[in-house]
Amino acid sequence: MPFTPETALLIVDVQNDFCAGGTLAVPDGDDVVPVCNAAASRAAAAGAPVFASRDWHPAESPHFSAYGGAWPVHCVQGTKGARLHPDLMLPSSTRLVTKGDSPFDPHGYDAFDGHLDDGKGLVETLRDRGVAQLVVVGLATDYCVKNSVLGARRAGLEVTVLTDGIRGVNLEPGDSAQALDDMAHAGAVLATLDAFDGAPE
Ligand code: VGL
């Protein structure tokens, strides 16, 4: 089932703070970058729209342990840590989905709770484009990837998760395996990029 104009690619939170040297570095997080780039280039070639979500927290976010949340400070609005990984090569038409920017929401994991630069949500934006199918890659398997996939399933989208294009935090061993189970249970298909969209000649 390759990319088509009715498919969208969602690249979740491939930001400096989730990669090597970041404040919440996901083990081997950088490994997703080449898979994201290949998926983005195949999506663009097929006329499939590309979206990149970003965690975009206020400096005093309830998501951070200093303010009652679970996490070290990361992806603070306007900082280097919040920028997309410098090696990501995305089509110029890629649209950013901003999430986690509320000073009140302690989670902000689901890109479907986020908004585009025009203030619209992802569901409405995808519906306007006639998109019925979503392909998901990025960070982290056990948080924002999982929650965005579940959000997409609740919105009635067909979802494929590219397993070679995701990596997990694994605060507890097995968290990523559990997340894969949860996504599959919700009806998401798990596949590698090449299985989803055969390698180009
Ligand atoms: C994420 C942990 C904390 C993610 C965000 O992007 O998956 N993980 N905040």
Continuous segment of H or E residues that includes residue 152: helix 146-154
Determine, yes or no, domain membership for 89. yes
How many angstroms separate the CA atoms of 36 and 28, rounded?
Answer: 14
Question: Is the beta carbon of 71 within 6 A of some atom in ligand 1?
Answer: yes
Determine, yes or no, domain membership for 30. yes
Residue showing tokens 């000649």 = 201
Determine, yes or no, domain membership for 169. yes
Nearest-CA residue for atom 8 of ligand 1: 143
Number of domains in the chain: 1
The total number of residues written for the chain in this structure: 201
Q: Which residues of the chain have pLDDT under 50?
A: 201
Rounded to the nearest angstrom, the distance between the alpha carbon of 29 and the centre of ligand 1 is: 12
Ligand 1 atom at minimal distance to the Cα of residue 147:
7
| Catalytic sites, residue numbers | 13, 99, 144
Residue 89, CB half-sphere, CA atoms under 13 Å: how many? 8
Determine, yes or no, domain membership for 66. yes
Determine, yes or no, domain membership for 1. no
3-state DSSP assignment of residue 196 = helix
Helices (H), 17-137: 32-45, 122-128
Question: Is the beta carbon of 144 within 6 A of some atom in ligand 1?
Answer: yes
- pLDDT at res. 1: 65
Determine, yes or no, domain membership for 55. yes
- pLDDT at res. 198: 78
Between helix 175-185 and helix 146-154 the angle, nearest 10°, is 10
- pLDDT at res. 105: 80
- pLDDT at res. 199: 61
Instruction: For residue 15, give its domain range.
Output: 7-197
Among candidate residues 72, 50, 90, the one with its CA nearest the CA of residue 171: 72
Question: Is the beta carbon of 143 within 6 A of some atom in ligand 1?
Answer: yes
Query: Sign of dihedral through CA atoms 183, 165, 8, 80?
Result: positive
Determine, yes or no, domain membership for 115. yes
Determine, yes or no, domain membership for 2. no
Structure tokens given for 39: 């998926």
Question: Is the beta carbon of 55 within 6 A of some atom in ligand 1?
Answer: yes
CATH of the domain at 156: 3.40.50.850
